[in-house]
Structure 1
């Protein structure tokens, strides 16, 4: 009986600690209006396609594929074949944006910030993470207004 109580107490304590850490970082589920605007299929750049779907009650998940590999190779000077991958979107409250690991997996440290403007249009900013002391801050590389898939 005692080991079970200890295990349950430890599990509850870890859950509360994780919830406190998430709250301290200002991250929570994506707001409903933003979720409704983001769900669907998007083409942010030629050669890259995002299929954003709901995940649970307040989350979003993206499946990133590369249907036009020649355009992608020209953009990144890639070798080989970029693999499709999945990523969860993280809501950053203080910036009012969702963040997503985007681009080919060969582009380490690259992420996109997704924001819905006043007119309901999606705006994407591509960041590259630095190295050394500025590793946590991203450097703005490009901004685009993606179009819906056909």
Structure 2
């Protein structure tokens, strides 16, 4: 079993605890999107993670990007708030979460791109190539929403 994985069902979130976190869509100068490959399951994702006590969600996003990639970023805009009750993220039988995630577009302001203990690869990829990659399902949705380049904030 690869960890984490997802369970789907009508209001399955009732069977889990709530976890809040955030993710960043970061573009390079060519419009490619920064993705990381997770060390726990080998899947691609946005830099992301859970909120720590004493943080707000923007701070969570900035910290997670730095921890996973070595890059310093500033938040540009909110893409959306995602809290579907129909998906649960499972890390272990007793570690099941309905996620409340905020996705931001962020801009690189410093640092050096590199790996962490949570990542085995990092790189910038064109949106058109993402369908060929094994990307975490929620993250693909968030990237697609960010690609609209609109002021619309998604609430899903």
Give TM class, smaller chain.
Answer: under 0.3
TM-score, normalised with respect to structure 2? 0.25
Structure number with greater Rg is 1
Task: Compare relative contact order (CA 8 Å, sep 6+) and give the higher one, 1 or 2.
Answer: 2
Larger helix percent: 1
TM-score, normalised with respect to structure 1? 0.26
Larger strand percent: 2
